[in-house]
Structure 1
Amino acid sequence: MALQITAQNGTFLVHGQLNTTTKQSFIIHFEEIIELHHNIVINIDGITEIDEAGLEGIKSLIAIAVQNQKMFSVIGNGCKNIYQDFNCSQVA
């Protein structure tokens, strides 16, 4: 399934697979959104599969948002391994 991104009430809904195949288009799409908006919220409830490249894509967007002094949030319950990776990698 291709990655689909829609906007609803200021939140960007992501559906499908976020993996090596879709990572680059995901990053390019959200780089433009980061330029246009101050507060970006991504809902991952619709993500059915994510691999390491997909996780790196999300991390890249977080870094881009921080560099541009923008707020960037990931919400939802899609793919539990996203949270496992971020809990392990973001130790203060």
Structure 2
Amino acid sequence: MALQILKQNGIFQLQGNLTTATTRSFIIHFEHIINKVKNVTVDIDRVHIIDASGVAALKTLIAIALRSNNIFSVVGYGCKDIYDDYRSVCAK
């Protein structure tokens, strides 16, 4: 399944899979948005699958936003894998 990005009430809603097949275009798309908007929020409630490259893409976008003094937030319950990855990083 491809990744769809919808904007509703100022929040970007992701729907589909955030995997190796979709991360490159995902990063390019949001890097452009981060450079235009100070506060970007992404809702992952409808993300079905996220692999290691998807998690890395989110981390990349967070780093890009931080370098630009912007905010990139990830909200929603979405895929459990992302929270497991962040917990493992925080526990180190």
- What's the TM-score once normalised by structure 2's chain length? 0.96
CA-CA distance at 1:81 after TM superposition: 1.1
Q: Cα deviations across residues 18-47 of structure 1 (Å, max 9, x unaligned)?
A: 000000000000001101100000000010
Consecutive aligned runs of 4 or more in structure 1 exceeding 4 Å deviation? none
Identity among equivalent pairs (%): 48
Q: Cα deviations across residues 26-78 of structure 1 (Å, max 9, x unaligned)?
A: 00000011011000000000100010000000000000000000011100011
CA-CA distance at 1:91 after TM superposition: 4.8
Counterpart code for 2:11: T
Whether 1:23 and 2:23 are equivalent positions in the alignment is yes
Matches within 5 A, 1:10-89: 10-89=10-89
| Superposed CA RMSD | 1.1
- Structure with bigger helix share is 2
Q: Distance in 2 between matches of 1:14 and 1:90?
A: 25
Unaligned runs of 5+ in 2: none
